[in-house]
Chain A
Amino acid sequence: MKRRNFLKLCGGTIAAYCLCPVGFSRSSTHAEGAKKNLLIIELKGGNDGLNTVVPYADKSYYEARPNISVPKEHVITLTDKFGLHPSLEALKGLWDSGMVAIVLGVGYPEPDLSHFRSTDIWQGASTDEVIYTGWLGRYMDLLTKEEEFSQTAYPLGIEMKNSASLIMKGEDQSGIALLDPGVFLEIKSGLLDVPRLEPGVFPGGDELRFIQDIERATDESAAAIQDAWEKGENAADYPDGSLGQDLPAVARLIKGGLGTGIYVVSLSGFDTHVNQLSVHPGLLQQVGDGISAFFDDLGKSGEAESVVVMTTSEFGRRVKDNGSGTDHGTASVHFVIGGGVKGGLYGEQPSLTDLDSSGNLKFTVDFRQMFSSVLRGYLNCSQSQCQKVLEGEFEPLPIFT
């Protein structure tokens, strides 16, 4: 009985590779010459910018925060006005070598104090009421219009997570969400390549199509990930915690020569409403030590120049403390670190006394300016491409040489 004719069994895992004879040379308009990688580190919960890059010369900082300020003598001095939280000591070396750009006063108009809405605004790089795509997803959409990236054997973007988030979601392209590539590859190799029914002929068709799309994307890129995972090797000491697992995984894939150029990792716990003094330093320590180890790792294979790391967070925190912590705020400080970065301070520190009606900082730099700096200065997007990705014109900061 030829029952199989009645149903489309989708192709196996191998066929996809035959269709895409794409190497790892990346001589496109976006990334001329050496391979370029962008890594976003999302600080989930709303990182307190004022206790990250401390305005230690501003006495209103100490007045507003009688319970949780960072004493002047503990600050790691960067300039006569600003210094790093002591837990970020590891970044001082990178700062001294001129690789660290610090952007002050990053926010957006009419700030929303909801974690979830503000995260959508940041990831979507949009303040539309309903946001359907993320800015990195739209960047990947743009990439795939070029022949070189139209059909790759590797995913254009990888998020080290169990669940894909908005930032990587484009109209046509989406990054894949992958946690712990080593375990993933081992487990995947043991699975059957079972039949897939044609979706749409029964209820749940949309859901089934969604699952099949993810499965197909996974199958298509598994061999490239495996190859890079086997070739790459870590050579640095990473801190404990989730960043200490995700960052070496990204480094290993980059060192293994994976074509993927976009990576996203995240660290939770920055919603420091209480006990900020006991919680926040440990988180910053993970960030500082993690980034430092990451560049150390890549530097050992001469690839430190091929990566830019940028931090994001849905908002900063209230200027005035609430006893032992800080409530939701607005503008905050962010880092752009890596190859081609012209180290120094960018943007302008908002006044700590001229605040909005909720007692929050008035932003001076739109977060999309920070994104456009990276898109234009690092990823070599044209002005019109950048406008497309960010859905508008946002003047870049001169962060890149």
Chain B
Amino acid sequence: MKSKFRDLSPYVPTNYLPWDRKRAAHLLRRTRIGDPAPEEIDEILTLTPYEAVESLFAFDPLPEPFSWVSEPPGAPENKEIERQRRNELLGFTLDIALKDKSIREKMVYFWSNHFVVQMSKVKDPRWMFSINNLFRKYAVGDIRQLTKAVGKEPAMLVYLDGTKNTRKSINENYARELQELFTIGRGNYTQLDVVEAARAFTGWKIHKDQGTSYFNPRLFDWGTKTFYGKTGRFNGDDIVDIIFQRSETARFLAGKLYRHFVYFKEDQEIVDELAALLIENDYNLEPVLKTLLKSGHFMDEIFVGADIKSPIQLLIGMIRQMGSGMLRERVMKKALFLTGQPPFEPPNVAGWEEHEAWISSSTLVYRKALASRFLEQTGLTGSNTTSLAEYYGQRAKDLEGLCLLMIEDLLPMRVSHEQAGAIMDFAGIDGNLPLSSPLTPEVLSQVKALVAVLVQMDEYQLS
């Protein structure tokens, strides 16, 4: 189904596309990691759609690096230190994904799944933190500068063998993936371009103790290179500049942004417009992304609930909705592993495939089990916020009203009154039960039964 909105002109609320709870939640689901808490939907609805998007671009200062980032490595002598650092890093990334109210962590996720590195090869948590914070720094910034910086990150130099790429032993790994997966896409370069680019990226090494990279001119290939028809004594930055001069690069990146933020099937005309905007803004992402998020196309009803949650979205969303507070790192690691998204461990350099690839016979079962065990372990009483049940209880006159509000918020798509009724029947809800403040144990147990059903529904897998 094609959207009726054929360009990126701004969203104007109408009867067909009201600025309501569903659409506000849609904006939050697509721009942050995981479902919003109900209070957050209330907050965003006090703003106009324009202001709502703007508010997502108000960033906190960059988090301070861990003290161990500039300390010597733990491995190989002290594996325990490495293990602790890895756990701290995981705890940190999940915690900030949960708490940050801006779009920044969504972009960190996006770039992590674009400029991919795998912990199992990089190993050193200092380098994993460094590249992770680089994504935060450049979240909606200059993509060309980000690309240049990524190539000098120790994590990337290790992951795609840059440190082994020297004047005497050319290693093609980074030069190929840079073009195929990070910038211009397959079909726009030749094998010779790969070799020539590889020569330009020679000379980079890592100070193992400080955890930083440096350029060693003696290992660099100072000869002339011919790349995309241009000839010169290029270095890596020159190569990136040449790649970004090509409009195919803008098209490639625009397609990826579209698939991430709107829908996994590209709408050609819209992606073309997005690509033109990238060029117009010299690859500065912020104005481009704002235009996309403020558009009627992005807000179109057909995209509401049309994404499939990644395991991280599923997990963080539940924690946020239920107000349970963060779970222990070990528990989260296990849950993410089983559901197919082991932390910092995408399957290969192309990253997680996303969307339908998240769902298989195994992962669907694990996702549902994860949800129900999460409920069993945390119950419904939040540690920080008013519990979900109390929130809806204050806004309804009887249990049926409470349940309807909850169904509306927990499932991303619009559910008819009749469908909602059927879900309540299945959960064994007595809709006529009166509400009190605080809610009676009887009502609470009924709400729990409803939530247990909702989080195991196929619809809850969508975003």
> What is A's interface to B at a CB cutoff of 8 Å?
1, 3-4, 6-7, 9, 44-45, 112-117, 161-164, 176-180, 183-184, 187-188, 190-192, 194-197, 201-204, 206-208, 210-212, 214-215, 217-218, 268, 271, 273-274, 322-325, 327-328, 357-358
Are B357 and A163 in contact (CB-based, < 8 A)?
yes
Q: Do A323 and B168 touch (CB < 8 A)?
A: yes
9 shortest A-B CB distances, which residue pairs?
A323-B169, A6-B418, A3-B421, A177-B360, A204-B305, A202-B413, A162-B340, A218-B361, A204-B306
B164 & A328 in contact (Cβ 8 Å cutoff): no
Flag whether B267 is at the interface (Cβ < 8 A).
Answer: no
Is B459 interfacial (CB-CB < 8 Å)? yes
Interface centre among B357, B419, B421 (most CB of A within 10 A): B419
Residues of A within 8 A of B186 (CB): 112, 114, 116-117
**A192 adjacent to B412 (CB under 8 Å):** no
Q: B364 and A204: CB pair below 8 A?
A: no
Q: Is the CB of B169 within 8 A of A324?
A: yes
Does residue B95 face the partner (Cβ distance < 8 Å to A)? no
Query: In the bound complex, what is the Cα–Cα distance between A163 and B169 (angstroms)?
Result: 37
Binds A, one of B54-62, B127-135, B171-179: B171-179
A-B contact list, 9 entries, CB within 8 Å: A197-B458, A201-B416, A203-B303, A204-B307, A204-B412, A204-B459, A215-B364, A273-B160, A322-B172
Asked if B414 is at the interface (CB within 8 A of a chain A CB), the reply is yes
B423 touching A164, Cβ below 8 Å: no
Within 336-373 of B, Cβ neighbours of A (below 8 Å) are at 338, 340, 347-350, 353, 355-366, 368-369, 372
Asked if B68 is at the interface (CB within 8 A of a chain A CB), the reply is no
Residues in chain B near residue A45, CB distance under 8 A? 348
Known A-B contacts A195-B457, A273-B172, A274-B171; A211 and B419 likewise in contact (beta carbons under 8 Å): no
Question: Is the beta-carbon distance between B357 and A197 smaller than 8 angstroms?
Answer: no
Contact of B425 with A by CB under 8 A: yes
Give the Cβ gap from A218 to chain B, nearest Cβ, in Å. 4
A6-B419, A217-B361 are known contacts. Are A210 and B305 too (CB-CB below 8 A)? no
User: Which residues of A are found within 8 Å of B348, using beta-carbon distances?
Assistant: 44-45, 115, 268
Least CB distance from A156 to B in Å reads 13
Minimum C-beta distance from A253 to chain B (A): 13
Given contact pairs A117-B186, A327-B172, A208 touches B458 in the complex (Cβ within 8 A): yes
Count, chain B residues at interface, CB 8 A: 65
Residue from B194, B362, B461 having most chain A Cβ neighbours under 10 A: B362
A324 to B191, Cβ gap below 8 A? no
Residues on the A chain within 8 Å of B457, using CB = 194-197
User: Are B361 and A184 in contact, with the CB atoms below 8 A?
Assistant: yes
Contacts of A117 in B (CB 8 A): 186
Tell me whether A192 and B456 are in contact in the complex, defined as CB-CB below 8 angstroms, given that A178-B361, A187-B365, A218-B364 are known contacts: yes
Q: Across the interface, name the chain B residue whose C-beta is closest to A187.
A: B369
Q: A188 to B365, Cβ gap below 8 A? A: yes
B161 CB-CB contact with A under 8 Å: yes
- Name the residue of chain B whose CB is nearest to the CB of A6: B418
Measured between beta carbons, the chain B residues less than 8 angstroms from A273 are 160-161, 164, 171-173
B453 interface residue, CB < 8 Å from A? yes
Question: In whole angstroms, what is the CA distance A124 to B24 when docked?
Answer: 41
Contact among A203, A212, A324 with B164 in the assembled complex (CB-CB below 8 Å): A324
Is the CB–CB distance between A327 and B171 below 8 Å? yes
| Neighbouring B residues of A196 by C-beta, 8 Å | 457-458
Residue contact B423 to A177, C-beta cutoff 8 Å: no
Q: How far is the CB of A45 from chain B (nearest CB, A)?
A: 8
Q: How far is the CA of A271 from the CA of B340 in the complex (A)?
A: 22
Closest to B463 in A: A204
User: B362 and A195: CB pair below 8 A?
Assistant: no
B422 with A208: CB separation less than 8 A: no
Flag whether B75 is at the interface (Cβ < 8 A): no
Distance, CA A184 to CA B357, complexed state (A): 18
C-alpha gap A325/B164 in the complex (Å): 10
Give the complex CA separation of A207 and B305 in angstroms: 9
**Known contacts A190-B369, A274-B164; A7 and B340 CB within 8 A of each other:** no
Pair B362/A274 contact, Cβ less than 8 Å: no
Taking a contact as CB atoms under 8 Å apart, the answer to whether A191 and B372 are in contact is: yes
Is B266's CB within 8 Å of the partner chain A? Answer: no
- A195 near B426 (CB under 8 angstroms)? yes
Q: A320–B161 Cα gap in the complex (Å)?
A: 17
Q: Are B161's CB and A274's CB within 8 A?
A: yes
**B327 at the A/B interface (Cβ < 8 Å)?**
no
A325 to B412, CA, bound (A): 49
Closest CB of chain A to B427's CB: distance in Å?
A: 9
Contact A191 to B308, CB < 8 A, known contacts A197-B419, A204-B462 = no
Beyond the given pairs A163-B340, A218-B365, 11 more chain A to chain B contacts, judged by CB atoms under 8 angstroms and listed by A's residue number, are A162-B360, A164-B360, A177-B361, A178-B362, A191-B368, A192-B453, A197-B415, A204-B459, A211-B461, A268-B348, A324-B164
Cβ-closest chain A residue relative to B121: A269
Residues of chain B from 417 to 463 with CB closer than 8 A to chain A in the complex:
418-419, 421-423, 425-426, 452-453, 456-459, 461-462
A163 touches B358 (CB 8 A): yes
Tell me the bound Cα distance from A183 to B358 in angstroms: 18
